[in-house]
Structure 1
Amino acid sequence: MEQGGGMAQGFRERMAAEVAAWRHQGVVDDDLAARLAARYADAEGAGAMAVRLLGGIAVVLLAASSLAGVGILLQSASPVALAVLVLAAAFAAGWAGIGLARDRRRGLTVTGGVLITFALAAGYAGALLLYFGLGGGGGADIPLLAMLLTAIAALAVAYSNALRWPLFLGLLLLFHWAGTRHGYIGHGGYFLDIQNERDMAVAGLTAVVFGVLHESVGERRWLRRQVGFGHLWLVWGLVYFNLCLWILSIRPGGTGWVLAFSAAGVAQIVAGAVLRDGRFTGFGVVFLAIDVYTRLFERFWDEVSIGGFLLVCGLLGVGIGGMCERFGAGRAS
């Protein structure tokens, strides 16, 4: 479990979460929990973290100013020459960023992550510049293809170097390529749009299944250096799966989608109790509460007593929680 001269960050985070869960469940007492937490806590202080964050910001500003200066000098240059320059800068930043992110002893992992982020953004821009500079035609599919290639590059960097930050960026780009769009609508406003909620819900559920298999099988066998990667797949999948079902319960709406969204929330709570996984429980509780809140204002606000409605919801919550706890205790015994 050693990586870069120290304990792998993903393993450290998972053990810290397990210690907190053991303390909450009464498996360990306060003294033992404190000693275990100290063992797996991040040893870095707030001051060191601030220095690293400032260093990362400085790298971004220096890179932006350097590229701006180069852009001024190359205003009369051809798009192909500019594309080659941007791709070269992306390669150099990626090479340096990977080296810094892998060498934890130097304490510049945040700076390495910033450089990797810059490299991916520059690679995306350089690929588009090169395509159009070589006479390629327009069309909405070209930026999406460049986004997919950038996502694949991020995933390749993440898995080949056991780095979680490129995986985070790669998954974000992958879901955006699959159908999530965003844009600026003026006056400081932005919008987020999912092109096909049904397909995206399936994609999210697929990512959840892959994340579970990644953790339970892959990270125990041939992906031991990638501990924590399955967590990111699972969390991103749960976000998009629940978000899409919520949208579908509103538009087009209808009893079927409302029941599907509610059943998914309850199923996640039950799965969390069965698997002893707080991630499923947390997402299930949050989105089930969103479901109740949405239905309250959508259908019952003017028809049902708010006090009685909340009382029923509270009793249902206690009942479901008690059943899950009892089932979990039965499995433990």
Structure 2
Amino acid sequence: MYAFCCINLAKCVIVQKLDISKQEKETLDEAINYWQQRGLIDDGLAKRLNESYQVKGFDWKRLAQYAFWIALSCVVLAFLSLFADQMVIRWIERLYDTPDTVICIFCLILAFLFYFWGFRNKRKHPDKTFTNEALMALGVFATATFIGYLGKIIDKGSGHFSLLFLASVVIYGVLSVKLSSRLIWVFTLVSFGVWFATETAYHSNWGFRFWGMNYPLRFTLFGALLTAFAVFLQPRIKQLEPFRQISYVIGLTYLMVALWLLSIFGNYSDMDKWSQVRQWHIFYWGLLSSAVSLGLAWYGLKRQDNVAREFGIVFFIINIYTRFFEYLWDNINRAVFFLLLAASFWYIGRWAERIWSGQEKKKAL
């Protein structure tokens, strides 16, 4: 990517310098020096390339992102703080008899207005990403409130409220496609996971087991299916293809977190029974979790898949240290425990240092 930028900059007259980060400038400086020392470019071209970019100033994009997220958080805090105000509490008490239908319709209108505002703003100002996504997020919150009150209106006492989460999945899914919103697609997949949890709980009479599986085992299968869908099927669906990467990341998150919890709790749904079992009795779940982590890391390295590689390496390390605490915390002296912990981190540091040194030597050749 940097080479492509440099070549294009060399071919044209530079009117405005390219703003880049300090790390990117260091990388470009090293690349240009490397090409210059080996005679791939002359001194004049190297000078023109060095003068074609500059370190950008204050990161306004990051500030905008944080500002909008803080603004949304403040909206939530403002709503929660209403309940601490006695005057507001008395006002809410007077509105307590407001029909659920009125609140439901009000939230529906509010959601429609936020979506319309966000979509209109996105068409007029596509560069204002954070503003547009913040409006979409407010629409999502209003939609969730609408669905909740709709459930109260149509509730017949069956307790099957997981259908509301399924409705939210459908609504968010349609909106994410129609409005081309990645943020709403995230809420779609989160709602999908909540629906799966509540639906299986409903069919197991709100117990912890469904078809002999506890929650971690259920979500291991759920995450695997969602990841497979993102990899194999989603690219073939034109409307959903833009959201493939998000589905891939969230699917792997469901899968790896569930596998890690499974390696700790096994397929037990009763905490009393689990607490009486030694961890080595369920070591095979730890082996499975570690094997999947290593498989992901190997796949990521072979296919240049950064997401799979990072998930695999991170969760493999988490698994190793989880087993370390499980098997040694109560069985060896605390001083020895922390010395072993320090030695393991020292080894990881040395290993990473060797890899880094090797890469630096290759650059110098």
With over 3 angstroms needed to count, the CA separation of the structure-2 counterparts of 1:131 and 1:172, relative to structure 1, is closer
Instruction: Pick one of 75, 91, 94 that aligns with 2:112.
Output: 91
Residue of structure 2 equivalent to 1:237: 251
Within 1, Cα distance between the matches of 2:198 and 2:33? 45
CA contact 2:118–2:132 (8 Å) conserved in 1? yes
List per-residue Cα deviations over 1:253-292 (Å, max 9, x = no partner).
5121011011011111101111111211111111111111
Q: Which has the larger radius of gyration?
A: 2
Are 2:152 and 1:124 aligned?
A: no
Are 2:188 and 1:170 aligned?
A: yes
With over 3 angstroms needed to count, the CA separation of the structure-2 counterparts of 1:270 and 1:100, relative to structure 1, is same
For these two proteins, the number of residue pairs brought into alignment is 282
Are 2:103 and 1:82 aligned?
A: yes
Q: Which residue identity is paired with 1:154? A: Y
Within 1, Cα distance between the matches of 2:241 and 2:185? 10
Identity %: 19
With over 3 angstroms needed to count, the CA separation of the structure-2 counterparts of 1:75 and 1:258, relative to structure 1, is closer
With over 3 angstroms needed to count, the CA separation of the structure-2 counterparts of 1:80 and 1:299, relative to structure 1, is same
Q: Structure 2 length normalisation: TM-score? A: 0.60
User: Aligned to 1:155, what secondary structure does the other structure show?
Assistant: helix
Within 2, Cα distance between the matches of 1:111 and 1:59? 15
Q: Which has the higher contact order (CA 8 A, sep 6+)?
A: 1
Are 2:306 and 1:278 aligned?
A: yes
Within 1, Cα distance between the matches of 2:318 and 2:327? 14
Within 1, Cα distance between the matches of 2:52 and 2:253? 31
Report the Cα offset of residue 168 of structure 1.
Answer: 1.3
Within 2, Cα distance between the matches of 1:35 and 1:152? 52
With over 3 angstroms needed to count, the CA separation of the structure-2 counterparts of 1:260 and 1:34, relative to structure 1, is farther
Q: Structure 1 length normalisation: TM-score? A: 0.65
For 1:107-186, what aligned pairs fall within 5 Å after superposition?
107=128, 109-134=129-154, 136-142=155-161, 144-179=162-197
With over 3 angstroms needed to count, the CA separation of the structure-2 counterparts of 1:115 and 1:140, relative to structure 1, is farther
List per-residue Cα deviations over 1:57-88 (Å, max 9, x = no partner).
7877899999x899677544322222222222
CA contact 2:147–2:168 (8 Å) conserved in 1? no
Within 1, Cα distance between the matches of 2:119 and 2:34? 39
Within 2, Cα distance between the matches of 1:46 and 1:55? 14
Gaps of 5+ in 2: 1-19, 36-48, 83-87, 200-212, 267-278, 359-365
Within 1, Cα distance between the matches of 2:159 and 2:52? 52
CA contact 1:100–1:106 (8 Å) conserved in 2? no
Within 2, Cα distance between the matches of 1:57 and 1:312? 39
User: Aligned to 1:141, what secondary structure does the other structure show?
Assistant: coil
For 1:40-55, what aligned pairs fall within 5 Å after superposition?
45-46=61-62, 48-49=64-65
Report the Cα offset of residue 293 of structure 1.
Answer: 0.9
List per-residue Cα deviations over 1:162-182 (Å, max 9, x = no partner).
22111111112211222289x
Q: Which residue identity is paired with 1:93? A: F
Aligned Cα root-mean-square deviation (Å): 4.8
Within 2, Cα distance between the matches of 1:197 and 1:34? 54
Residue of structure 1 equivalent to 2:317: 289
With over 3 angstroms needed to count, the CA separation of the structure-2 counterparts of 1:180 and 1:278, relative to structure 1, is farther
Within 2, Cα distance between the matches of 1:212 and 1:34? 41
Within 2, Cα distance between the matches of 1:57 and 1:266? 38
Within 1, Cα distance between the matches of 2:52 and 2:265? 48
Residue of structure 1 equivalent to 2:9: none
Are 2:285 and 1:257 aligned?
A: yes
CA contact 1:59–1:111 (8 Å) conserved in 2? no
Residue of structure 1 equivalent to 2:221: 202
List per-residue Cα deviations over 1:100-145 (Å, max 9, x = no partner).
24443473x43332332232332232233234335x2235421x22
Within 1, Cα distance between the matches of 2:160 and 2:33? 57
CA contact 2:133–2:183 (8 Å) conserved in 1? yes
Within 1, Cα distance between the matches of 2:309 and 2:51? 27
CA contact 1:249–1:261 (8 Å) conserved in 2? yes
Within 2, Cα distance between the matches of 1:293 and 1:72? 52
With over 3 angstroms needed to count, the CA separation of the structure-2 counterparts of 1:34 and 1:62, relative to structure 1, is farther
Within 1, Cα distance between the matches of 2:328 and 2:305? 33
With over 3 angstroms needed to count, the CA separation of the structure-2 counterparts of 1:114 and 1:49, relative to structure 1, is closer
Q: Which residue identity is paired with 1:241? A: L
Q: Which residue identity is paired with 2:104? A: A
List per-residue Cα deviations over 1:204-253 (Å, max 9, x = no partner).
112222223368x44xx945x954x2121111111111111111111125
